Amino acid sequence: MTFNAPLTLHLTKPIATLIAIIVCTHSFAEETTTLQGRMTKRLATDEQLKLDDYATQPPTSLKQAVDGYQERQKKTDPKAIVIDLQKALKSYEDPAAEKGIVPGVNVSASQQVSIEDIRMQALSNNLAIQVAKIDPLIAAASTREEEAKFDNIVFAYAKYGRYDTPKVSGDKVEFTSDNPALNNELVKLSTIEQEKRSLGLEAGIKIPLRTGGTVTLSSPLEGKESIGKFATEEYRSALRFSFSQPLLRDAGKQVNEASIRIATFEQQSTNINTRLQAIRIIAMVDKAYWSLYEAWGELDVRKQQYEYAQQNLAMVKRRVEEGLTAAVEVNRAQIGVADRMEALIVAETNLKLAQRQLRFFLNDIGDSPDANVLVPVSQPNLLKYDFDRQKLLNDAMAGRLELLAQEIKLAADMTNIEYLENQTLPMFTLDYQYGALSNTADNIGNSYQNVWSQQFNDWSIGLKFEMPFTNEARKARLERAVQQRNQRLATRGLQQLTVKKEIYDALDQVDQHWQRILAARQQVLIAGVNYDAELKQFNEGLRTMTEVLETLTRLGEAQIKEVRAISDYQISLVDTAYATGTLLGYSKLNFQ
């Protein structure tokens, strides 16, 4: 399964390595490198649980297990019943059985589905996965947005103005002049009626620095023209350079790149959550598949029970006509047929529900969802594994997706805390400006002639300090971030405990359901022998049809127990794989 930029999903390729994290400080680099290494190693491997890797010895087939069970029974019970296992296990050893599990179904008129088929349809059609696919795209866009915060900015300004002003009486002023005739004279300054035109142009580039500063290069041009008495026309230009750099708050690459690293962490967490959602859906689809398998098996048993009851009814009627059996046995046989008809109807309904549930996960419920019958063709591979529990647990703790996502969030929390620590510092900024000025010229072309001569220039340097009296707002934000990380650490501990519980529970369920399969197999074989014996005694007049039907019922219930145990065993293997954060194979259940 692959989750790349557009989140394309595949079934046979490993998941691509996540985007590398931008790291600045040494301590943060070590933590992130370790986490990234774990994620790369985890996500670059085949996303399936290989049971053989965790088995302490070669797996045991069902036939071998039943033979061993029989041998143990013979040792404890010398009078144990001898059963023909070759005939009993034919359905599991005959290659023809791979074509379907229900002999009475017209497979040509139905849709045969395998584990591989339903997984591909789920990945393509499941609505929950379709919704989850959008999240990585949103997260990737957010990361690109943060990375673009250091883009250079090209700017240009232009302004033209025309002012036609009337005469305005001004203030009286006293002159101080080198001319004795004007010194200490009182003068009234009035603005005469005039028309003025102005032109202002400026173009440049603004460069945001990763250290938090800003560099600006620009070239302004000013033009003024007065019309009327004392008409003038003059132009001035300059080349300007300015630099502003925070020295405390917002200073340094680590602080200014924090938002980029946090966005990258969020993107990785989103990718993991999306993959986790896909794995969860696939696990649910696998379970629904085996539930459908169980429903087909139960329907098969109910059909056989109904057919046996019909055969018994026909046999009883024939014996009554021949005078070999009392007529009341016909009523008893008819009751047995009616009971099995009810069970058959319930089994058919359960099959429809199981099919509809599977189609729901595949987003394939149409106007007539039951028109095309789904027939599972992937057979359970009945092998018993003795797992190395500690190895399985260690790998689950190292690669469980929820734990990886939690570690990514913890790394993001640490980055956020470092940023907020910097925000509690005072604002202390260094500003510097320099401008190379030109002479005043009477046209635009001449205004740039002596800009580079540095004959005229201006410059300034300054410091700016700013700090709140209490600084409580920023301290409170830092405290909240620290407590959120503490909460997440506690949550990680709970998740680790939950993973351990899920692993041990799943392994115990695997063992339990395997024992159920063995017990149900024995019960089926013994119930079959018992039914044949009761039927023979009925023909000899030693048993009633009620007693025969009771043994037939026990045979059917034993068969259904076996089908359910097999289905539950496959589901428990799926749960085991899911508990480790993987899937149980990509195409079909094949443990070899």
Average pLDDT by consecutive 10-residue portion of the chain (592 residues)? 32 29 37 52 51 76 71 49 35 35 44 84 84 89 91 93 85 82 81 85 93 93 81 84 94 92 92 87 90 91 87 83 81 85 89 90 74 82 84 85 89 93 93 86 69 80 92 93 92 89 90 91 86 81 80 87 91 88 54 28
Q: What is the pLDDT of residue 73?
A: 52
Contact indicator for 298, 102 with CB cutoff of 8 Å: no
Handedness of CA 416, 421, 422, 428 (dihedral sign): positive
Q: What is the pTM of this model?
A: 0.70
Q: How many CB atoms lie within 10 A of CB 159?
A: 10
Contact indicator for 563, 294 with CB cutoff of 8 Å: yes
How does strand 456-466 pair with strand 111-113? unpaired
How far is C-alpha 234 from the chain's CA centre? 67
Question: Which of 513, 502, 428 has the alpha carbon at shortest distance from 465?
Answer: 428
Strands (E), 1-142: 60-61, 111-113
Question: Which of 245, 25, 244, 258 has the alpha carbon at shortest distance from 146?
Answer: 258
Q: What is the pLDDT of residue 538?
A: 78
How does strand 374-376 pair with strand 194-208? unpaired
Q: What is the pLDDT of residue 256?
A: 93
Residues 6+ apart with CB under 8 A from 96: none
Contact indicator for 90, 563 with CB cutoff of 8 Å: no
Question: Which of 42, 85, 78, 40 has the alpha carbon at shortest distance from 61?
Answer: 85
The secondary structure element, H or E, covering residue 410 is helix 401-423
Q: Which residue has the tokens 């409580």?
A: 472
**Helix and strand numbers, DSSP H then E, in the chain:** 13, 12
Q: What is the C-alpha to C-alpha distance for residues 582 and 576, in angstroms, rounded to an integer?
A: 9
Q: What is the pLDDT of residue 128?
A: 84
Handedness of CA 178, 179, 184, 185 (dihedral sign): negative
The amino acid that residue 404 corresponds to is L
- Can you tell me whether residue 5 is helix, strand or coil? coil
Start-to-end CA span in the chain (Å)? 21
Q: What is the pLDDT of residue 101?
A: 36
Q: What is the C-alpha to C-alpha distance for residues 267 and 360, in angstroms, rounded to an integer?
A: 30
- Can you tell me whether residue 489 is helix, strand or coil? helix
Q: What is the pLDDT of residue 266?
A: 92
Burial class of 143 by CB neighbour count within 10 A (0 to 12, 13 to 18, 19+): buried
Question: Which of 385, 395, 389, 388 has the alpha carbon at shortest distance from 580?
Answer: 395
Q: Which two tokens stand for residue 255?
A: 């602080």
